[in-house]
Amino acid sequence: MTAASHAVADLSEVRDRDHLYIDGAWVEPNGTGRTDVESPSTEKVVASVVNGDDVDTDRAVQAAHRAFREWSETPRDERIAAVERLAAALDSRRNALGGLIASEVGMPLEQATTAQATMPVGVLEATARAAKSYEWEESVGNSLVVRQPAGVVAAITPWNFPLHQIAAKVGPALVAGCTVVLKPSAVAPLNGFAFAECVAESGIPPGVFNLVPGRGSVVGEAMVSHPLVSVVSLTGSVESGARVGQVAAQGIKRVCLELGGKSANVLLDDADLDTAIPSAVSQAFVNSGQACNALSRLLVPRRLLAGVEERLVAEVGRIVVGDPFEPGVTMGPVVNAAQRESVREHIGGALRSGARLIAGGAEAPPGLATGYYLSPTVFSDVTSEMPIAQEEVFGPVLVVQPYDDEDGAVTIANSTPFGLSGGVWSADRARALSVAHRLRTGQVKINGVRTRDHFDAPFGGYGLSGLGRELGRFGIDEFTEVTSILG
């Protein structure tokens, strides 16, 4: 990292954290352990945070439970205004949050500032707008149907887009009148502390939002099993989602699970390749491919395969891998050594199964021996039977699957147990829409649109991609119960 790059990066949020945020105050933990936060670009510890335990979790849930009645009865306009203030508080820290997430996740600084630190602001603002037009009450026949706050929410968030996922859970829960206990990812917990400070600055009453970092096996389990928790919202792996569902079922709790993906980007034979290929590369390799909704499979008409491969190799060659704080870098490292090893195992498996490597591979680019770097990798001639076409890699790996006709493309797109996102490219929008209607997935992007430009649209998946939806009015639905008042 050069002196110049240090000068433009605001790293004021990258610091040790020694307290939990419970009942409106920063308090000493009962738990005694700490978690080191490692920079994926330097492999060095940049900060450490305290870990909560089951006692701390109970303190936080009890505080949220005590605060629930008053917060749920607070006029909706006041709850919405509080979320708007929270958005403004986050926005005021945008540069510092960009530097923070570049440090703990490894996304290049410019991207981290414009995406990671900006998206949560947009999510909260969109949530507030949705709440103003939300149908809190409606007449159905001779009945009045009322949406009521569900109760205390356990929010468990991931490391890859951490602040975005915090905002996507906390914002709609608060406008719905719920109170929240948040457990941020132990891999990237620092941003959760910054979010809690913004909550305090926003004048949100004590107990309405609480922060307990720690291990999922301790804090997460205690949250999900707590009898005073009514809703569990988790973004994470399929394995984590299955465990949450298992534990929550014992208490008959509502769950919202946003899990993995293996999303298909379908190029129809009339697609504008000059636009489609750069977009396909961008949407596959964003955040080093560590995105649940990454379009990690590119479906290509067989007769266009050779030309598409040539374009892909050229476009991938323009990706600049390196230190996230260096100007001009467009892809940083993966988050840690375990993730790098997992991606390497997927690459090795793809080679053994007969996939044809056309770009990248298992090694880091030259000159990047320190840090968890990988080369952007593309496989072609991938069939649906290969593990690389079925399993989420969560790294910078794109697979190309040729198809013979439109029906074949739909069959391939729907051939995985996931269904989170997808894309269709065509010069004929009606044709693209026709294909989109046939895809078994929670979201389909026509001609390269981005989720972050549509925060009012629902986001969530089919199959192993999860249960429930986030964003907009659909996200608010997850934190409400329905009461029918008859007569």
423-444 tens-digit pLDDT: 999 999 999 999 999 999 999 9
- Work out the mean pLDDT of the chain and round it to a whole number: 96
What pLDDT is stored for residue 131 in this prediction?
Answer: 98
Q: Which residues of the chain form CATH 3.40.605.10?
A: 3-259+466-486
H-run or E-run covering 191 = helix 190-201
* Structure-derived torsion over alpha carbons of residues 300, 347, 1, 196, reported in degrees to the nearest 10: 80
Parallel, antiparallel, or unpaired for β 480-486 and 143-149? antiparallel
* Whole-number pLDDT of residue 4: 38
Buried b (16+ CB within 10 A) or exposed e, 143-154: eebebebbbbbb
- To which residue do tokens 């929240």 refer? 180
- Alpha-helical (H) ranges within 137-189 are 162-176
pLDDT-based confidence at 5, cuts 50/70/90?
very low
**pLDDT (average), residues 41-56:** 98
Tell me how far apart the alpha carbons of residues 198 and 45 are, in angstroms, rounded to a whole number: 25
Q: Tens digits of per-residue pLDDT, 21-33?
A: 999 999 999 999 9
d(CA 193, CA 19): 9
Region of residue 399 (left: phi > 0; alpha: psi -120 to 50; beta: else): beta
pLDDT band at 8 (very low <50, low <70, confident <90, very high): confident
Mean pLDDT, range 402-418, rounded to an integer: 98
d(CA 229, CA 221): 12
Q: What is the DSSP letter of 425?
A: E
Instruction: For residue range 63-82, list pLDDT tens digits in order.
Output: 999 999 999 999 999 999 99
Compute the distance between CA of residue 153 and CA of residue 256 in angstroms, rounded to an integer.
Answer: 11
Structure confidence by residue, pLDDT tens digits, 352-403: 999 999 999 999 999 999 999 999 999 999 999 999 999 999 999 999 999 9
Name residue 321's beta-bridge partners. 331
CA distance 275 to 447: 9
Place of tokens 């989420």: 392
CA distance 395 to 423: 19
CATH of domain 3-259+466-486: 3.40.605.10
Tell me the β-bridge partners of 203.
Answer: none
Instruction: Quick: pLDDT tens for 190-199.
Output: 999 999 999 9
Task: Label residue 452 by pLDDT band (50, 70, 90).
Answer: confident
Establish whether 38 is a catalytic residue.
no
Confidence of residue 294 (pLDDT cuts 50, 70, 90): very high
Q: For residues 199 and 307, what is the distance between their CA atoms, to the nearest angstrom? A: 51
- The active-site residue, picked from 38, 84, 104, 258, is 258
| Residue 192 burial (10 A CB sphere; 0-12, 13-18, 19+) | buried
178 φ/ψ angles, rounded to the nearest 5 degrees? -85, 160
Q: Are 427 and 271 in contact (CB under 8 A)?
A: yes
Extract the tokens encoding 71. Answer: 């917060």
Assign 216 a pLDDT band (cuts: 50, 70, 90).
very high
pLDDT (0 to 100) of residue 3: 35
Question: Has residue 205 got a pLDDT over 90?
Answer: yes
Contacts of 352 (CB under 8 A, 6+ apart): none
pLDDT score recorded for residue 487: 84
Residues 334/108, Cβ–Cβ less than 8 Å? no
DSSP state of 17: B
Report pTM.
Answer: 0.96
Class of domain 264-456: alpha beta
Average pLDDT for residues 458-487, to the nearest whole number?
97
Q: Dig out the tokens for 427 from the structure.
A: 């010069």
Q: What is the pLDDT of residue 179?
A: 98
Q: Is the pLDDT of residue 168 over 80?
A: yes
Contacts of 197 (CB under 8 A, 6+ apart): none
- Distance, in Å, from the CA atom of 24 to the CA atom of 170, rounded to the nearest integer, reads 16
DSSP 354: T
Query: Residue 316: is its pLDDT beyond 50?
Result: yes
- The angle subtended at Cα 166 by Cα 25 and Cα 138, nearest 5°, is 100
pLDDT of 2 reads 40
**Tokens 């005021």, located at residue:** 92
Residue range 293-315: average pLDDT? 98
Of 1-5, 219-223, 311-315, the one with minimum mean pLDDT is: 1-5
Query: What does the block give as tokens for 207?
Result: 């107990």
Residue-level pLDDT at 1: 39
Give 126-147 as a 3 state SS string: HHHHHHHHCCCEEEECCEEEEE
Q: Is the C-alpha dihedral spanning 247, 250, 255, 258 positive or negative?
A: positive
Give the other-Cβ count within 10 Å of 252's Cβ: 7
Phi and psi at residue 426, to the nearest 5°:
-160, 150
Q: According to CATH, where is 3.40.309.10 located in the chain?
A: 264-456
- Tokens at 73, concatenated: 């009865």
Environment class of residue 168 by beta-carbon count within 10 Å: exposed (0-12), middle (13-18) or buried (19+)?
A: buried
Cβ 157 vs Cβ 237: under 8 Å:
no
Length of the chain: 487
Residue 161 is classified by DSSP as: S
Convert the pLDDT of each residue in 77-136 to its tens digit.
999 999 999 999 999 999 999 999 999 999 999 999 999 999 999 999 999 999 999 999
How far is the C-alpha of 333 from the C-alpha of 150, rounded, in Å?
A: 40
How large is the angle between the packed helices 190-201 and 162-176, nearest 10 degrees? 40
